[in-house]
Amino acid sequence: MTKWLKFVTITKIKMGDFHKHIKLAKEKLLATLTAYHSEQHTVVGDLGTKVIEQLIEADAARSNNHFGDHRSRHEHASNNFPTEINKAMRRIWFAYGDLGYDGINGERAKAVIKNLKIIIKFFEERFGIEIYEESN
């Protein structure tokens, strides 16, 4: 076995891994907040969407499921999360498209952050873990 193959075998990460998705969600959340505070408003929606995707994947991973497409994530969210959380998610998903064209003033980015707070609180309670750490 070559060194590369050993590396790939050892570092292979199961996509349905709850902890991996949480780690990715935290990383993307930090990047979202950094972009927001740096007034890089047009990328906040994109990054916020990625945070949501990882949290949905983490939730699915608890049942050993993994989604490879947006539609499956949307269906999982609709079937498993309260209406308030689904509305907050939709606000971010829709802001993502708007921010690319009309995000310079920061109002839509601010709405993304507001809705991410709602979503993060929900998942912290659902999973019993801290996702956003104030020290970040």
Low-confidence ranges of the chain (pLDDT < 70): 1-16, 96-105, 134-136
Residue 80 covered by a domain:
yes
| CATH code of residue 123 | 1.20.120.330
pTM score of the predicted model: 0.82
Asked if residue 31 is part of any domain, the answer here is yes
**Rounded Cα distance, 45 and 81, in Å:** 21
CA 58 – CA 123 distance, rounded (Å): 10
CA distance 12 to 15: 9
pLDDT value of residue 1: 47
Is 77 contained in some domain? yes
Predicted local confidence at residue 41, as pLDDT: 85
Overall domain count for the chain: 1
Structural domain boundaries, residue 109:
15-127
